[in-house]
Amino acid sequence: MRFFASKTLLTICVTVLTAPPILAQSGHSARKTENVEGSIISVTARRGDGKTEPIRAENLYLYENAIEQKIKNFSFDPSPARIVLLIDNSQTVPVEIEEMKSAVMEFAYEIYDGDQLFVIAYDTAPEIIQEWTDEAASLEKSLETLRKQGNPHLFDAVNAAVKEVLVPLMPGTRKTAIVVIGDGLDRGSKTPFDSMIAQLQNYNIAVYALSVKDRTGGAYRRYSPKAGEVIQGITEETGGLAFTLSDAKTAAKTICDELRLNRYLLSYFPTNTSSYDARRLFIVPDEGILLRYKSHQPPNIK
């Protein structure tokens, strides 16, 4: 169903009069990741050396644009995760609907207590398939509405998921992620690729991908990165990972495990950094510690 199908006429009228977002939500204002706590970064961290000692701030060295920053705090984040599953629902996506359904259900089996899933399918517009839930039976029933039509407006769908599903949960909820299920192709979005990446980084949202074969065969895209480059960029720039759809079971377990067991919050007060440019991040850990994190902080002044 399209999202507005379940709303009353009054709700629709009010939404139209107030310049509706792509997905109607609660109207919370956007919140930045920088406040009285300083800058906060979500970091995926684990030991690869077999040691059991906790990872602490003194094990890390943080740089912004090659300028060392003093880490205020580095702490394990035990909070539940909120995961948006974003499914390519377009006509020509080279995968059967049943395989998409099976991949989504793997997450229902792997999430931890307190975690919740939100499912959006996208073609020319994003469509809510299932609102926040941890119930496998409800999720499986909602997936019956999946079908293939139209062109993939991936960047618009990501933008909608950020602004209208995840941002309203903030700042109380920091452990957020989007899982893109598709080949990364975008045809017709109004949201530019770079703008989409900046939004994800601004709100510390990690993106994972379950990728399928590129339907364009790696064809050059005049106004957008190639499909494969989108998958690579959207995951690497936000601190996520890319898997193949055929390995959905392993992907779901890996993603849910690391969100619950390996997610940390790093905070610091930036010094000697540009106010107008994106700030390149570089974290050097002690030997034996493995990290993933977003590539940039947003400018201090918008």
Give me 147's structure tokens: 């079908």
Quickly tell me which residue has 């920053």 as its tokens.
Answer: 69
Bridge pairing between strands 34-35 and 296-297: unpaired
> What's the confidence (pLDDT) of residue 221?
80
Q: For residue 130, which of 122, 23, 139, 105 has the smallest C-alpha distance?
A: 139
Give the tens place of pLDDT for each residue, 153-177. Answer: 999 999 999 999 999 999 999 999 9
The reply to whether 130 and 227 lie within a common domain is yes
Angstrom distances, CA of residue 262 to CA of 19, 63, 94, 240, 293: 40, 21, 33, 12, 12
Give me 111's structure tokens: 């999430």
Q: Residue 285's domain spans which residues?
A: 38-77+263-297
Q: Classify residue 62: in a domain, yes or no.
A: yes
Give the tens place of pLDDT for each residue, 230-245. Answer: 999 999 999 999 999 9
Q: What is the separation of C-alpha 50 from the centre of its chain, rounded to a whole number of angstroms?
A: 29
The reply to whether 141 and 267 lie within a common domain is no
Q: CATH number of the domain that 194 lies in?
A: 3.40.50.410
Q: Classify residue 27: in a domain, yes or no.
A: no
Q: Residue 146 pLDDT more than 90? A: yes
Q: Classify residue 106: in a domain, yes or no.
A: yes
Domain count across the chain: 2
Give the tens place of pLDDT for each residue, 30-61. Answer: 344 454 568 999 999 999 999 999 999 999 99
Q: Residue 7 pLDDT more than 90? A: no
The reply to whether 207 and 155 lie within a common domain is yes
The reply to whether 92 and 171 lie within a common domain is yes
Q: Classify residue 144: in a domain, yes or no.
A: yes
Give me 265's structure tokens: 């919050």
Q: Classify residue 243: in a domain, yes or no.
A: yes
Q: Classify residue 187: in a domain, yes or no.
A: yes
Contact 155, 161 (CB under 8 A): no
Give the bridge partners for 296, in sequence order.
280
The reply to whether 285 and 274 lie within a common domain is yes
Bridge pairing between strands 60-64 and 279-285: antiparallel
Q: How far apart are CA 175 and CA 265, in angstroms?
A: 9
Mean pLDDT of 83-90: 97
The reply to whether 170 and 114 lie within a common domain is yes
> What's the confidence (pLDDT) of residue 301?
57
Q: Residue 252 pLDDT more than 80? A: yes
Q: Classify residue 12: in a domain, yes or no.
A: no
> What's the confidence (pLDDT) of residue 273?
75
Q: Classify residue 31: in a domain, yes or no.
A: no
Q: Residue 276 pLDDT more than 80? A: no
The reply to whether 69 and 137 lie within a common domain is no
The reply to whether 201 and 169 lie within a common domain is yes
Q: Count of H helices and E strands in the chain?
A: 7, 15
The reply to whether 48 and 162 lie within a common domain is no
Q: Residue 87 pLDDT more than 50? A: yes
Quote the mean pLDDT of the chain.
Answer: 88
Quickly tell me which residue has 């049943």 as its tokens.
Answer: 98
The reply to whether 228 and 159 lie within a common domain is yes
Q: How far apart are CA 223 and CA 88, in angstroms?
A: 20
Torsion of CA 296, 297, 301, 302, to 10 degrees: 70
Give the tens place of pLDDT for each residue, 17-36. Answer: 344 455 633 333 334 445 45
Q: Residue 6 pLDDT more than 60? A: no
Q: How far apart are CA 175 and CA 81, in angstroms?
A: 5
The reply to whether 160 and 283 lie within a common domain is no
Mean pLDDT of 121-150: 97
Q: How far apart are CA 273 and CA 301, in angstroms?
A: 11
E-only strand ranges, the chain: 34-35, 38-47, 60-64, 67-69, 71-76, 82-88, 116-122, 126-133, 176-182, 206-211, 242-244, 263-268, 279-285, 289-293, 296-297
Give me 190's structure tokens: 């109004």
> What's the confidence (pLDDT) of residue 17?
37
Q: How far apart are CA 129 and CA 262, in angstroms?
A: 29
The reply to whether 97 and 218 lie within a common domain is yes
Mean pLDDT of 86-113: 97
